Structure 1
Amino acid sequence: MNDRKHLKLRHNTWYFQKRVPKALKPLYPDRDIIEQSLETGDIREAREKRDILLGQLRQRERLLKVQEQPRQRFLQYVDQLSQVAGDRFVGPGVTWDEVLDPESVGRATDPEYVEAFKAVSQGKSESEKYGVTLKEVLDYFIRNSEREQLHTEGTRSRFKKTVTAFLRYLNNSDIQMSRIERSRVFDFIEHCREKLSGSTVQGHLSRLKTLWDYAYARAWVSADNPFEKHKINTTKGRQKKQPFTETELRQLMAAMERQPFSMQLLTRMGLYTGARISELVSLRLHDFKEEDGILLMGIASHEDGKTEAATRWIPVPKPCLLQVEKLRTGAADADSEYLFYDLVSIRPDGRLAYLATKRFGEIKRKHATERQDKGFHSFRVMMATALQQGDVSELVAAYLLGHSRKGLTMSYGYYSKGYDAKKLQEAQDRAIAVIDEMLTEKSDQAVTQLEQVEAM
């Protein structure tokens, strides 16, 4: 075995050498390399001493993380205070809490110390305010798995990737287990189903459920597992979105009338164009142009569409023209480049439609349906059906929706330069007429039902 990692022989003496880890830079401000004599010329003894030093460095990294994370700071204070509290006094006639209360030690503005003092005073070692976090549970789970050899390295890696995916969706670096709500898990599932197969999503949920059960078994959490009892179709790949029924659509649109202007317009444009919510929220003010007196909008014109076919110029639906102009003015006044300036989410993961998707999902579940296979993407299905019922050619329909046109008749030969604006407007108008039929019938009844629900 020729294991000489981090070892260097100099004048018959082995030295430990390792680049300073990024997390430990504050401890070594003027050094790039950690070097220490191991005081031995025996390679086996040098390896043993090296492993001890590596373990010490890892421990230091963990301690630094403790200082950076509120919960870990809280636990550190609890440990320190508990040691003193075990004696109940620090001198004749003086108890520990009289000397170490936040005011006396100048930590009244340190929230972790204040909470730790309160907890230890009550004989506790935990606090709901600084409950166990998802990453902390994962860390304990992985270490236990490695120690007991319960899983393969591949399985442990999948657990880490699942936690990373869930936290990235939440846009958090970590989250307390007690703050994970079932509704957020539901939203996570719907988000994943847009891109992942049912079996992949099920795998994510299964691993998150396992972590919750692990925490529950150790009394770190007491609530029901928010990751269980979710039904996911794993046999047919991605879950296909279903159209709203006429009743559901009327109730949804009636509910939208009570929402902010931009949310109303986003929903109506989705219904009348079949565009993806990410495509609409990504619209910028310069994504509009006029051709033959028709206002067109550039969907995925920045080459960030889901597919190459997604990039297209389509008419702004006639029922939305005035509202679009109003919102364009509002966006310009707000000095924003985005049309839906008050719905755009600026996030590290680049998901501009995060907030809009979340709001739409909440409104849909409250006023229309809780079915997971119905969402904003259902408008896309409905628009495709409306185009078909309006006798629009398959090629034009595919262009309007941004579907791939491979395999369709190629004799037309004009979609490299797009379609005539008037032809697109005519096709869109036909589909809108079909959709409006669904909305106009019994619309008053839908509003009445909505008012009854909100009054309950």
Structure 2
Amino acid sequence: MSGANPDAARFRHIVRQLQADKQDNPYDWNEPYDVREIERAGDIVFVDAYTTVTGADDRSSHYDISLREALHNWEVKHGVNKSLETQRKVPNTVKLFLNFLEVQDVSLQSVSRRDVYDFIEYLAQHYAKNTVSGHISRLKVVWELAKDRCDVTGDNPFHGHKMDGTSETKKYELFTPSELQALNKSLDEASKDRKLIFLLGLYTGARLSEICNIKAGNIMQAGDHYYYHIEKGKTKDATRNVPIPPELVADTLALREGLADDDLLFSVDSKTYSRWFSVLKSSLVDDSRKVFHSLRVGFSTALKRCDVHERYAAEILGHKRGETMSYGYYAKENEVHKLASEAAKAFSYIKFAWLTDKREEGR
């Protein structure tokens, strides 16, 4: 396989334009064009488009859209509306596929089902089934947009494959109280913002990517309660307002001071923090199933143990729910008050049942 012609976009644009002219005026649509003169001028792309539309010489296969070009179109059309995590994952998957094919770029039309099958076989040797499925799904949507744009024809080669993998995705395990206490104490040596990320994960159950993507302007107040607004996240249900525990408000506001509304609250991205936290955690907890996401599992568990109604748990965690509350930047005071009241139950449970050293408490 080879990369697509760099003039491909212009070729397809001219073809669409000439086809429209031909449809509107089928008898003398080509009268304005002197092909020999255009050829002498060296505009081979136009000549190829012209002969393709006339049927004299179909040159379209020489101007197929490339995978990287299709990715760019996806980023412009759909990527801007996706989470930062998705915006990162789709280009990474495209790069992984091209590396597998050992090319810098490839004609999207030339990708066969066998190419995709072989790619899945390769991925299955290294990744869990869900991860393999995610990679193929991302390539599938890039191809589908190209077909919607009439840049490719035929069946989507990324659709309808059986997925295999090394194993199912690992189940995240809860940190034990002693492990949480050790982590919390160890983070006293870290910067205030890194400690705050940990505590927000612990006490609000937000995903790491959601926390690291909080903007200064997302910190809001409704009545006596502060909350942060998650604009978009892993799923469509991730948009929500999350109450900030009173004990974390001062540090959160201090971090916001001096920032513009569009500035990120934290100076570290989720990928960097995840790696840093993994190293820190490994020195204290020897269990690969226990990661930052385990804090979210813990908060969800605390909500359940405190008998918080599933409706409110879903609102706080960003799980699938009914459209019962509004999720603009400016939440209604009674909405935040109720969410804060329910979240406070889990906050207290985690603080006193898990994070408090009972030996210290009895002294």
- Using the size of structure 2 for normalisation, the TM-score is 0.54
Match of 2:272 in 1: 355
Q: Deviations over 1:33-72 (max 9, x none)?
A: 59xxxxxxxxxxxxxxxxxxx9xxxxxxxxxxxxxxxxxx
For residue 359 of structure 1, report the CA deviation from its aligned partner: 1.3
For residue 197 of structure 1, report the CA deviation from its aligned partner: 1.3
Residues 315/331 of structure 1: CA separation in 2 closer, same or farther (3 Å cut): same
Match of 2:308 in 1: 392
Match of 2:338 in 1: 423
> How does 1:25-424 map onto structure 2 within 5 Å?
33=44, 153-158=115-120, 197=130, 237-299=168-230, 301=231, 304-329=232-257, 331-332=259-260, 337-340=263-266, 342-344=267-269, 353-369=270-286, 371-405=287-321, 414-416=324-326, 420-424=335-339
Q: Number of residue pairs matched?
A: 233
**Alpha-carbon distance between aligned partners in 1 of 2:217 and 2:343, rounded to the nearest angstrom:** 22
For residue 310 of structure 1, report the CA deviation from its aligned partner: 1.1
For residue 385 of structure 1, report the CA deviation from its aligned partner: 1.3
Residues 233/320 of structure 1: CA separation in 2 closer, same or farther (3 Å cut): farther
Residues 31/434 of structure 1: CA separation in 2 closer, same or farther (3 Å cut): farther
SS in 1 for 2:355: helix
1:361 and 1:375 in contact (8 A); partners too? yes
Give 2:294's aligned amino acid: S
Residues 19/253 of structure 1: CA separation in 2 closer, same or farther (3 Å cut): closer
1:266 and 1:280 in contact (8 A); partners too? yes
Match of 1:440 in 2: 356
Residues 248/201 of structure 1: CA separation in 2 closer, same or farther (3 Å cut): farther
1:20 and 1:33 in contact (8 A); partners too? no
Residues 233/246 of structure 1: CA separation in 2 closer, same or farther (3 Å cut): farther
**Alpha-carbon distance between aligned partners in 2 of 1:241 and 1:339, rounded to the nearest angstrom:** 27
For residue 372 of structure 1, report the CA deviation from its aligned partner: 2.5
For residue 139 of structure 1, report the CA deviation from its aligned partner: 7.2
**Alpha-carbon distance between aligned partners in 1 of 2:302 and 2:119, rounded to the nearest angstrom:** 46
**Alpha-carbon distance between aligned partners in 2 of 1:434 and 1:138, rounded to the nearest angstrom:** 49
Give 2:342's aligned amino acid: A
Residues 443/250 of structure 1: CA separation in 2 closer, same or farther (3 Å cut): farther
SS in 2 for 1:257: helix
For residue 367 of structure 1, report the CA deviation from its aligned partner: 2.2
**Alpha-carbon distance between aligned partners in 2 of 1:140 and 1:285, rounded to the nearest angstrom:** 43
For residue 294 of structure 1, report the CA deviation from its aligned partner: 1.0
SS in 2 for 1:298: strand
Q: Which runs of 5+ in 2 are unaligned?
A: 9-40, 46-61, 63-95, 104-113, 137-163
Q: Deviations over 1:181-218 (max 9, x none)?
A: xxxxxxxx8xx77xx61665999xxxxxxxxxxxxxxx
1:198 and 1:239 in contact (8 A); partners too? no
Name whichever structure is richer in helix by fraction: 2
Residues 420/362 of structure 1: CA separation in 2 closer, same or farther (3 Å cut): same
**CA-based RMSD:** 4.0
For residue 415 of structure 1, report the CA deviation from its aligned partner: 3.1
For residue 378 of structure 1, report the CA deviation from its aligned partner: 0.7
Give 2:180's aligned amino acid: L
1:272 and 1:432 in contact (8 A); partners too? yes
Q: Which runs of 5+ in 1 are unaligned?
A: 1-17, 23-29, 35-53, 55-133, 142-151, 163-188, 204-231, 345-352, 407-412, 446-456
**Alpha-carbon distance between aligned partners in 2 of 1:309 and 1:324, rounded to the nearest angstrom:** 24
For residue 326 of structure 1, report the CA deviation from its aligned partner: 1.2
- Using the size of structure 1 for normalisation, the TM-score is 0.44
Q: Which has the larger radius of gyration?
A: 1
| Structure number with higher relative contact order (C-alpha < 8 Å, ≥ 6 residues apart) | 2
Residues 249/313 of structure 1: CA separation in 2 closer, same or farther (3 Å cut): same
**Alpha-carbon distance between aligned partners in 2 of 1:20 and 1:394, rounded to the nearest angstrom:** 54
For residue 374 of structure 1, report the CA deviation from its aligned partner: 1.5
Match of 1:90 in 2: none
SS in 2 for 1:375: coil
SS in 1 for 2:263: coil
1:199 and 1:234 in contact (8 A); partners too? no
Residues 242/201 of structure 1: CA separation in 2 closer, same or farther (3 Å cut): farther
